[in-house]
Amino acid sequence: MVQSAQEIGKELIDKLIEGKMDSQPAVKFHIDRAIMTGNYATLIEFLNKHPVIMAQAESNIALINHQKRLNPFQPYPTRDEAKESLSGPLKLGFVNQFDDKFGFEFNVLCKPLINLGRPDSGKSQLLKYILFQCLVKKPDFNLLIPDLKREYRHLATLSKNLKILTKEKIKINPLEVPYWSDPDTYLFALAETFISENYLAGTSLNHLIDTIKFIYKKRGIYDGTINYPNLIDLYKFISYQYTKTKSHRFGDILLWLRNRILPYFLVPNFNCQFGIPFDTWRTENLILEMDKGFTDNMYDFVVAHILHLLYMYNKEMNLTGRLRHLFNIDEARILFQPYRNKSDFGESVINKDITKTRVYGIGCLVSSQETISINDILRSLSFIKIAFPLTDESDLKFIQNSWGLTEEQKNHFFELPPQTRAIVRYAGFKKPFLLQVPTFRIKKELTDEQVNERMKDFWDRLESEAKKPKTPKPIELTTSIYETNEIISDIPPPCVALLFYISRYPFTKASELKNTPGFKSVAEANKALEWLENNGFVKTEEYRASKTKKSKYSVLQEKAFTYLGIEGHPGKGDFEHKLYQHIIFEKLSQEGSEAKIEGRMEDSKKLIDVLVASKETGFVAYEITLHFENLAKNIGDDITEGVSKVVVVTRDKEDLEKAKKMVEEDPAVAKYQEKIIFETINAFFS
């Protein structure tokens, strides 16, 4: 079939455009004329007179196809495209052979920037390059950099606008109401954040709110005083409620709350009445070094708490229209919790907030080594997505779908250089493109001593700003809530941390208390322990915990239990009895037995020192015998309740022989001798 001139002309035009020849003025003139008039004869005649034009077009097409086979991202953005769509003051790297740079306006970062890549691929280098530009170009927003690797402090050698908060200088009292908020509005937000980021069920939320409201009322917060409680006060009140409640369901809620609050006392960062002033988070470029002493839950809570405070403030003040605060989130897996059980714990508050913060000028640089950290919320909100080399098939599929890559472009991922080359998807440009990140290295590194010297004035200023006017004498929770006549004076924060640690791990040897989290040296821990002993909170006692010698323990006294708001350590009897319960429990658990301290048989009210359930032997009762008046009764009751064996554990061989003799001479239990075993505590030492 013979083609018409129009059909031939259209095919020629397609080839000319594909071969990039339509940019030549003469060719463009004939193409436009043919399309407007519908007369393609003139174009065909022109091309016949100048065959080199079509030859060049076909050559260009062949070259483009060859380049696409080598690199499916070609052709690169042209100079005109880079100038029109990819220019701006914040530069990320080169996009074509002309060294045109990809840049954008700072306000674009009101939406999250996603930055993915395996270790040493260039991901961290790009982040530091971005942060460096934010510091030296002095835009009207501040940076907040939670640092889990202590690697960002060195940026301070390049800019005096960056402040560093080392681990010891991060001071936060979550119960301190910011000056711009009313107590109720603040505590509702605080409770939601604490419940969310500490993996507590929604049933804890209302009780936490009611508890804080009660303490606020007792402290006069609603009357305008600044006598703020802290997490110690909250812990004490919840502990007191736990000892008084008779409801198992309510008791479980209280126990979960108490256990989640307790770790915050093992570091001194939260044991303060006045923390870092709110305006510091709002105005300063800050690095928060959280590489040691902070659990993942603490990290999540601190970041979510600060972000939510800024969101509340900006919303209250109607601050919209531009970027005001930029968070650098270098470990997205920790903060965005991809493995979170949402059916039990609900959506993380950070995921809720990030959908609302854009309007109020809060942005995030979100980096991760794995795509699973990037949830649907982040992916849908992001305006810029950057992917350095990744090799896992699931990661590649994620990037292909989210970046809109062809199959050839996805496969080309394997051929990228191992460092500083990435694929970018930018909502302001029509297609994904390659990015070459410039070499950026910080030559000078800061030691701890240099950080201390550089930040001294800043730290001193923070401390002076945190000192508030004197307030009336605190309303002691020990009198108004705990129903005791004893008023306990303030305890130094290191002593509080050690006291709570001992209450949590009462059977830690005194020599091992030096390893308590939050202490910088053995001397500091020993000093805190000495203060607690001198003030009657603990007493050093010696007990056998090995076959050869006794060990020293710091035993909590009544004054400590009153301060902590608890009635005593779990278990019955004195400290030695509870210690032996613990030793037996630990030994049996290590051997794989299902043991329980203060266990009881089904439908029984009789508590057994340590009860073990075994498929082979049934239930075995371990009865610690330091005193002998109840020995026969305990054995008889245990066997009557259905245990298959009773193991009588004594302090030493002398007591063991005494116990044997008592059993042999008592007809009520002598008949059970085949079910009774005698051991000294030595049998349970490691």
pLDDT reported for residue 473? 37
Beta strand ranges found along 315-374 (DSSP E): 325-329, 362-368
SS (H, E, C) 152-210: CHHHHHCCCCEEEECHHHCCCCCCCCCCCCCHHHHHHHHHHHHHHHCCCCCHHHHHHHH
The owner of tokens 């409640």 is: 245
Mean pLDDT of 410-426: 85
- For residues 677 and 71, the model is more confident at 677
Q: What percent of the residues of the chain are helix, what percent strand, and what percent coil, each to the nearest 5?
A: 50, 15, 35
The owner of tokens 């009897």 is: 573
The helix/strand/coil state of 391 is: coil
Q: Which of 68, 77, 3, 89 is nearest to 40 (CA)?
A: 3
R_g (Cα) of the chain, nearest Å: 35
pLDDT reported for residue 570? 62
User: And the tokens for 626?
Assistant: 């330091």
Residue pLDDT, tens place only, 104-156: 999 999 999 999 998 888 899 999 999 999 999 878 899 999 999 999 999 99
Residue pLDDT, tens place only, 351-384: 888 888 989 999 999 999 889 888 888 888 999 9
Split at pLDDT 50, 70, 90, the class of 565 is low
Q: Which residues contact 680 (CB under 8 A, 6 or more apart)?
A: 649, 650, 651, 652, 653, 655, 656
Mean pLDDT of 320-326: 94
Q: Which of 303, 301, 389, 360 is nearest to 115 (CA)?
A: 389
- For residues 306 and 160, the model is more confident at 306
Split at pLDDT 50, 70, 90, the class of 571 is low
Q: Which of 167-181, 406-420, 480-494 is predicted with the least confidence, judged by mean pLDDT?
A: 480-494
Backbone φ and ψ of 474, nearest 5°: -60, 145
- For residues 249 and 375, the model is more confident at 375
Angle of helix 653-665 versus helix 631-641 axis, rounded to 10: 70
Q: Domains of the chain by range and CATH?
A: 5-70 (no CATH), 488-564 (1.10.10.10), 577-684 (3.40.1350.10)
Distances (CA, A) of 108 to 10, 350, 361: 42, 20, 10
Render the burial of 99-121: b for 16+ CB within 10 Å, e for the rest: ebbbbbebbbbbbbbbbbbbeeb
Listed ranges 211-220, 298-307, 498-507, 522-531; the one with the highest mean pLDDT: 298-307
Backbone φ and ψ of 271, nearest 5°: -95, 60
Residue 120 identity (one-letter amino acid): D
The helix/strand/coil state of 594 is: strand
Per the CB < 8 A criterion, the answer to whether 271 and 225 are in contact is: no
Backbone φ and ψ of 459, nearest 5°: -65, -40
439 pLDDT above the threshold of 80: yes
The helix/strand/coil state of 613 is: strand
540 DSSP β-pair partners: 554
DSSP assignment of 13-52: HHHHHHTT-TTSHHHHHHHHHHHHHS--HHHHHHHHH-HH
The helix/strand/coil state of 475 is: coil
Q: Which of 361-375, 435-449, 644-658, 661-675 is predicted with the least confidence, judged by mean pLDDT?
A: 661-675
List alpha helices for 413-483, DSSP H. 448-466, 477-480
Residue 191 identity (one-letter amino acid): A
Please tell me the pTM assigned to this model.
Answer: 0.68
Mean pLDDT of 323-348: 86
* β pairing state of 384-387 and 421-426: antiparallel
436 DSSP β-pair partners: 94, 421
**Residue 75 preceded by cis peptide, ω within 30:** yes
The separation between CA 365 and the C-alpha centre of its own chain, rounded to angstroms, equals 16
> Residue 510 carries which DSSP code?
G
d(CA 630, CA 674): 20
Percent over 90 (pLDDT), the chain = 32
Mean pLDDT of 238-254: 82
Q: Which of 66-80, 128-142, 325-339, 447-461 is predicted with the least confidence, judged by mean pLDDT?
A: 66-80
pLDDT reported for residue 191? 93
Mean pLDDT of 151-174: 94
pLDDT reported for residue 468? 53
pLDDT reported for residue 64? 67
The separation between CA 624 and the C-alpha centre of its own chain, rounded to angstroms, equals 42
The helix/strand/coil state of 132 is: helix
Split at pLDDT 50, 70, 90, the class of 432 is very high
d(CA 367, CA 111): 14
DSSP assignment of 278-296: HHHHHHSEEEEE-SSS--H
Residue 261 identity (one-letter amino acid): I
pLDDT reported for residue 481? 37
